[in-house]
Amino acid sequence: MPDRRLVFLESSTSGHLFFRAARRQGLRPILVTSGHDRYRNLEGEAVDTVIADTADIWAMARVCDELQAQVPIAGILSTSGAYAAMAARLCHRFGLPGADGQAIESCQNKFLQRGTFKNAGLLTPAYELVDNIPSAVEAASRIGFPVIVKPVVGSGSTGVRLCLDGGDVGAQVAHLLSSGGEAMARDVLIEEFIVGLEYSVETVGDVVLGITRKHLGELPYFVEVGHDFPAALHRSDEVAIADTVVSALDALHLHWGPAHTELRLDSRGPTIIEVNPRMGGDMIPELIRLAIGVDIVSETIKLATGARIDLTPQGHRWASIRFLNPGAEGFVRWKSDLNAARAIPSVSEVELYVAEGDEVRRHGDYRDRIGHVIVAGETPYQVEASLANATAQLRYDIEGSSNRRDG
C-alpha cells in the first residue's frame, strides 16, 4: 500500500482521473468532502474519504494535522476551482508546493478580475457590480441589452443567464439574491454580451498547452455541450489568444499550476471572459492527453508533490467531446445501443449519467447533461464523422415533456 497520501479537497468532473493518476504514481488519494455521495463520477473508485467542513480553514487544518500524524502528506490540491484557494492556504501551512492563495482568492471574484484586466489594458466586457434589482436594471440599461447576469463568484455556468430586457434582469437578479436560489449571491455582475465564438485556453504556469473550442447550448443559458481540442484557428488568432492569456495570468499573479481561461473572439480580438485557477473540467484534460500526449492530470500531481514535470507535446491529433443535453424535463427513456457507439472507429469513451426512468430537471447549467461521447482521430473530419455516428446511437426520449430529441 502506498505510504504517501495526496489530499484532495472536494472533487470535480475530472476528479476520478486524478485519483487514478495518483495511484499510478504510488500515492494514496484521500478525498476530504463535506458530504457522502456528492460525486457520481467517483462511484466505484473506492477512495478513502474524510467528512469535514471543507469551507472552514481551521477544520481543514485539523484534518490535515491528523492525516500528517499518521502518514506523510505528499501534497494537497483541489480539482474544484471553488476550493483552490483553500488548498493553496493549506499547502503554505504545511510547507508543500502550491499556488499563491491570495492571488487565487482575488481571481475567484469576477468583479476583481475585471478590474485587474482593465488596469492591465486587456479587452474585457463592460461590467457593473450590483446588489439589488433597481441598480441591476439601471446598470443593464447603461451597458446596453442584451446583457449577461451572473453571480460574482461561481463556476459551471451556474446562475449565468442572458437577459434581453429589464424584466429578465430583475427576475434573474431576484433569483440570485434570494435564499432559495441555487446560485445564491450577495453581489451580482451585470456584463456586456460579447458576440463571437467562445474558446478556453489550458495552461500550466506560463505554459500554454493549447486552445479549446467551446460549443454552447441554446440561449439564454450557457451550458457547454461540447469541446474540441485543439481549436481550428488561423495562426494569427492562436498567437493573439495565447499572448492575451499569458498577459492575463501575469496580471493576476497566477504563475503556479493549471488555469482554465475562457474568452470570446470578435473583430476587436480576444476578450477575456474569466480566468479559473484550476484545470479545465468537462474531460478537457482527457482531450489534451488524446490529442497531444500530455497527461496534464499526472503532471499536475507531480507539480503538487514537488516532482519534475514535462509538458512537451508528444503528437498532434484531434479530440472532441459532445454532451447529451436534452434541454427538457421529464423521465429518461433510453433507446441507445452503447456497444454500437463504442465500436465506432475513433470513439474513446461513451458514458451515460442517468439510468432508464430517472427524472431529469432543467437547471440551465452543467447539471442538465445526461451523458457524453469522446472521440480522437488524425483529422478534424474523422473526429466529426465519428461523433455524428456515435451520437446517432445514443437516442432517448424525455417523457412528461413536449420536447423530444433523438440523438
Higher pLDDT, 372 or 108: 372
Residues whose CB is less than 8 angstroms from the CB of residue 339 and which lie 6 or more positions away in sequence, other chains included: none
- 38-52, 101-115, 196-210, 249-263: lowest mean pLDDT where? 38-52
8 Å CB contact between 173 and 188: yes
- The upper half-sphere exposure of residue 284, i.e. CA atoms within 13 Å in the direction of its Cβ, equals 32
Give 282-334 pLDDT, tens digit per residue: 899 999 999 999 999 999 999 999 999 999 999 999 999 999 999 889 999 99
Report residue 258 CA to chain centroid gap.
12
- 40-44, 89-93, 311-315, 367-371: lowest mean pLDDT where? 40-44
Report the distance separating Cα 131 and Cα 149, nearest Å. 12
8 Å CB contact between 209 and 216: no
pLDDT of 45 over the 80 cut: no
8 Å CB contact between 277 and 131: no
**What integer pLDDT is reported at residue 217 of this predicted model?**
87
**What integer pLDDT is reported at residue 346 of this predicted model?**
96
Q: Sorting pLDDT into bands at 50, 70 and 90, what band is 155?
A: low
Percent of the chain clearing pLDDT 70 (strictly above): 94
pLDDT of 384 over the 80 cut: yes
Higher pLDDT, 1 or 105: 105
Residue ranges of domains in the chain? 4-98, 126-192, 197-399
pLDDT of 370 over the 80 cut: yes
Report the distance separating Cα 35 and Cα 284, nearest Å. 26
Q: Sorting pLDDT into bands at 50, 70 and 90, what band is 46?
A: confident
**The amino acid at 192:** E
Please compute the mean of the pLDDT values over residues 352-359 and round it to a whole number: 92
Residue that has been written with the C-alpha cell 447529451 in this structure = 324
pLDDT of 406 over the 50 cut: no
8 Å CB contact between 28 and 47: no
Homologous superfamily assigned to 126-192: ATP-grasp fold, A domain (3.30.1490.20)
8 Å CB contact between 89 and 63: no
Homologous superfamily assigned to 197-399: ATP-grasp fold, B domain (3.30.470.20)
Backbone angles phi, psi at 147, to 5 degrees: -130, 165
Report the distance separating Cα 34 and Cα 43, nearest Å. 17
8 Å CB contact between 402 and 337: no
Q: Sorting pLDDT into bands at 50, 70 and 90, what band is 156?
A: low
CA neighbor of 154 nearest in space, from 246, 222, 255, 251: 222
**What integer pLDDT is reported at residue 181 of this predicted model?**
47
The percent helix, strand, coil of the chain (3-state, each to 5) is 35, 25, 40
Domain 4-98 falls under CATH 3.40.50.20: yes
Q: Sorting pLDDT into bands at 50, 70 and 90, what band is 1?
A: very low
pLDDT of 186 over the 90 cut: no
Give 207-265 pLDDT, tens digit per residue: 999 999 999 988 888 889 999 999 999 999 999 999 999 999 999 999 999 999 999 99
